[in-house]
Amino acid sequence: MILIENLHKKFGKNEVLSGVDLEIKGGGIFAILGPNGSGKTTLIKSILGMVIPNKGAILVDGKSIRKNWKYRQHIDYLPQIANFPGNLRVKELIRMIQDLRQKPSEADQLIGFFDLKPFLDKKLGTLSGGTKQKVNIVLTFMFDSPLIILDEPTNGLDPASLLRLKELILVEKNKGKTFLITSHIMQFVEEMADEIVYLLEGKIYFRGTKEALMARTGQSDFEHAIAAIATTPADA
């Protein structure tokens, strides 16, 4: 599904990615974790073609993404902050994205699932943060793409909406789809992720299951294992 080889990226003198090698085969939920400044967002945006690496290669389905924008038609992306035009109504935004993508859409089902019908005629600038996030989720999941990237997907969600999001992710995972997820909510990561990819100082410091992570750090619970991983020797 995704192959990353010797990826480097600098912003000025700041080296954000330093020789990242990562292979993610199709199917499953992969959590991309690490402290602030570890390179998580830069890695995701490199996969999306939003950041151009200084060195290295990214292949999606065996093909280089360099000068190949069409691969993005098979990726759905939920950004951490959705900057919607405030003067647009919710239904206008959804219709605009449908017109741009020109693919079959499950928007109506998702609107009902997340109780968004009362908000369809409201302008996006008047919505609460949690309601905007639900619109963001509808836009992300309404197309049938094999790769879904979610950057802090739980932001602003109430408990009922969070449960619906978890249910939706698992339904799509069971269809064989691949998820890359970043989140600061460790309970969410522990519950949803099949594998952890931990970035530290621009490199892959750990990759493996939650059980392997806890065994390596000697911790009995996941949240403490994440907190301890940066102080655990890489060859432990």
CATH classification of the domain holding 9: 3.40.50.300
Per the structure, the count of domains in the chain is 1
Whether residue 19 lies inside any domain: the answer is yes
Of the listed ranges 50-54, 66-70, 75-79, 224-228, the least confidently predicted one is 66-70
Residue 41, domain extent: 2-80+146-229
205 has a pLDDT exceeding 90: yes
52 has a pLDDT exceeding 70: yes
194 has a pLDDT exceeding 90: yes
Whether residue 34 lies inside any domain: the answer is yes
Whether residue 236 lies inside any domain: the answer is no
Whether residue 99 lies inside any domain: the answer is no
Whether residue 31 lies inside any domain: the answer is yes
Overall average pLDDT of the 141-157 stretch: 94
Q: Would you state the pLDDT for residue 5?
A: 95
Helix axes 222-229, 210-217, angle to 10 degrees: 60
Give the pLDDT band (50/70/90) at residue 232. confident
Q: Would you state the pLDDT for residue 234?
A: 65
Of the listed ranges 66-70, 91-95, 163-167, the least confidently predicted one is 66-70
Whether residue 157 lies inside any domain: the answer is yes
| Residues in Cβ contact with 193 at an 8 Å cutoff, skipping those fewer than 6 apart | 29, 30, 31, 181, 210
Overall average pLDDT of the 196-220 stretch: 93
Whether residue 197 lies inside any domain: the answer is yes
Q: Would you state the pLDDT for residue 84?
A: 87
Q: Would you state the pLDDT for residue 235?
A: 52
pTM to 2 decimal places:
0.93
Q: Would you state the pLDDT for residue 61?
A: 87
On average, the pLDDT of the chain sits at 92
Whether residue 137 lies inside any domain: the answer is no
- Please return the burial class of 195, using the count of CB atoms within 10 Å of its CB with bins 0-12, 13-18 and 19+: middle
Q: Would you state the pLDDT for residue 214?
A: 93
Give the pLDDT band (50/70/90) at residue 62. confident
